[in-house]
Structure 1
Amino acid sequence: MTDPDWLAALLRDEALPERFAAEVERLHVPLAARIAAVAMGPAFVVGLCGPQGCGKSTAVLVLRRLLEARGLRVAILSLDDLYLPIEDRQALARDVHPLLRTRGVPGTHDVGLGLAVLDGLAGPGRTAIPRFDKAADTRAPSESWPVVEGPVDVVLFEGWCVGARPQPDKALAAPVNALERERDPDGTWRAHVNAALAGPYRPLFARIDLLVQFLAPDFAAVLAWRQEQERKLRARLAAAGPSGARAMDDAEVVQFVQHYERLTRHIAAEMPARADLVIRLDADRRSTNL
């Protein structure tokens, strides 16, 4: 049983609803225990893969608190914070395919930076953890990056395609949605994404010591979760008053998630057979098998 004072503080500090306490007991406490039982530091890398909106970011915050309560030193690395700066993606859009300007898919991350961070966290000394400014759509200034003193015991490495493997080439032939049919008719973009997984991303994902997959019930749930995220963002922006920032409406989210649909579906079909732990979620993002 989790310390009720600790749990109450967690819910308050992270602005989580009271009902989330049940999910902490059902999912996060046993998951933290499993990680602690197998973690052989330094920098034991736990890869947490899950589709957009499934709750990965909250999960790693809770897991860090639980693991630190066990006396472990923990660092968090998000794949999102490894996005290439806008000027690099503009160059990819010009030289390879226009869709590569949009951050997210393999080929739009700085894999070398990710490997350097993992190396740093495994040894003594200070390691700066990258931060990406999504509002500005580029990397945050390095002086604003948080610094972690190493070596750490556990790295929680989370992202929507963390640990993904490439598709067979023949699977790339048929488009999976309107975006691919209309904006990638010859398959150049999806071939580039697949080649990135087969090449540059392999050494980064090979650093994962324990692979945890959050599995959505279907792609319709992923879309609904992403739309819910954007509605909350719209509400926050409206409460903050007029600004230059804006959130997508539901129709725009439908278009946006098409960038990630192919790989999201592929991961859901391929990864469960090899992940160390698969956490099946219902439409309300509650775990159903732990």
Structure 2
Amino acid sequence: MTGAALDAVEGLVRRALEERGGLLTVGLCGAQGSGKSTLAAGLRQRLERDGMPVAILSIDDLYLTRAEREALGRSVHPLLRTRGVPGTHDVALGLRVIDALERGETALLPRFDKALDDRLPEDRWERAAAGTRLLLLEGWCVGARPQEDAALESPVNALEREEDAGGVWRAFVNRTLAGDYQALFGRLDRLAMLAAPGFEIVRRWRTQQERELRRDAGKGMSDAEVMRFIQHYERLTRHVLDEMPGRADLVIALDEERRVLGVREK
């Protein structure tokens, strides 16, 4: 990830902040491994140097608890035990965070431990300061819109073909995305997108991340586990890459090495 991406998002944010008082909520969307977290952290560092209070909330930190996903797996479809897709997040929790920050109050920011596959207890959450001016909501499906029902009929990979042959899981995901998630994404004042060159590169990017985790922390998914895991994300990632560039406020096109190919602002 080059400085060009950070400069572009910073420019978008600073112009928006000049136009309004109170909280500015900016969505940062990008496929797994595209550099969203790094970009968000870099932007916070730059703005906080100017004394501006900034909060970062990843949609990953809104995952339902393991127990809640287990219950969904029993009542709706077994694939919902796996975190990631719409329907596996606590959207109401995210809305409460935004509500508190819009009122100018301090707010607890939930945190999820992927190694434990569970939400951390509240005493380990971070706290956004009262008077926070910028909330960055980052995640792989931030700002996503649902597909047409007809698009759900054909499976996109082996996971859907073999484990969701009747389409129950993908229909639930799409229906949920069309519901409460749109209320959450409707609170975004701006939407920036890191556009990967295609879904095929996501496997490589995610595999690299997990290999680094195994090397540095002694934990992380095997390459085979990554292959299965990313199939949960494939349908919606492809959809986002296809339709979001036409409406996002800022699109940063990346190559396979995450270098910036171009920047387009609406």
Q: Which residue of 2 aligns with 1:31?
A: 9
| Counterpart AA for 1:46 | V
Q: Report the alpha carbon displacement of residue 27 of structure 1 after superposing the two structures with TM.
A: 2.1
**Larger CA Rg, structure 1 vs 2:** 1
User: 1:124 Cα deviation (Å)?
Assistant: 3.1
C-alpha distance in 1, partners of 2:112/2:198? 29
Q: 2:9·2:192 contact (CA, 8 Å) conserved in 1?
A: no
Contact 2:152 2:171 in 1 (8 A): yes
Q: CA contact under 8 A between 2:53 and 2:129: conserved in structure 1?
A: no
Match of 2:29 among 34, 38, 49: 49
* 1:93 and 1:101 in contact (8 A); partners too: yes
Looking at structure 1, the residues matched to 221 and 197 of structure 2 have their Cα atoms a distance apart, in angstroms, of 24
Task: Provide the residue aligned with 1:183 in structure 2.
Answer: 163
Decide whether the 8 Å contact of 2:191 with 2:249 is kept in 1: yes
2:256 aligns to what? 283
The answer on 1:249 being equivalent to 2:227 is no
Question: In structure 1, what is the equivalent of residue 45 of structure 2?
Answer: 65
What is the distance in 1 between the residues matched to 2:62 and 2:77? 20
Alignment map for 1:217-256 (pairs within 5 Å):
217-238=197-218, 246-256=219-229
Separation (CA, whole Å) in 2 of partners of 1:80 and 1:133: 9
One-letter amino acid matched to 2:242: A
SS at match of 1:84: coil
Is residue 2:251 matched to residue 1:270? no
**Corresponding residue number in structure 2 for 1:136:** 116
Distance in structure 2 (CA, Å) of the matches to 1:125 and 1:274: 31
Give 5+ residue unaligned stretches, structure 1.
1-19, 239-245
Contact 1:213–1:278, Cα closer than 8 Å, also in 2 = yes
Gaps of 5+ in 2: none
Residue 142 of structure 2: aligned partner: 162
Measured in 2, the distance between the counterparts of 1:74 and 1:53 equals: 23
Post-superposition CA distance 1:199-232 (Å, at most 9, x none): 1111100001100011101111111100100110
Normalising to structure 1: TM-score of the pair?
Answer: 0.87
* CA-to-aligned-CA distance 1:218-260 (integer Å, 9 cap, x gap): 111111100100110111134xxxxxxx422222211110000
Question: What residue identity is the alignment partner of 2:57?
Answer: L
**Which residue type is aligned with residue 139 of structure 1?**
R
Matched, 1:172 2:145: no
CA contact (8 A) 2:9 2:250 kept: no
Q: Distance in 1 between matches of 2:154 and 2:214?
A: 35
Deviations 1:82-140 (A, max 9, x none): 00001110000000000000000000000000000011112233211101111111110
Query: In 2, Cα distance between the equivalents of 1:84 and 1:30?
Result: 33
Return the offset for 1:288.
1.4
TM-score by length of 2: 0.95
5 Å-filtered alignment, 1:190-209, equals: 190-209=170-189
Does residue 97 (structure 1) correspond to residue 70 (structure 2)? The answer is no
**What is the Cα-based RMSD across aligned positions, in Å?**
1.2
1:252 and 1:86 mapped to 2: Cα distance? 18
Change (3 A) 1:137 1:155: same
Alignment partner for residue 261 of structure 1, among 228, 231, 234?
234
**Percent identity between the two aligned chains:** 54
- Equivalents in 1 of 2:12, 2:117: separation in Å? 36
Superposed displacement of residue 267, structure 1: 0.3
SS across alignment from 1:289? strand
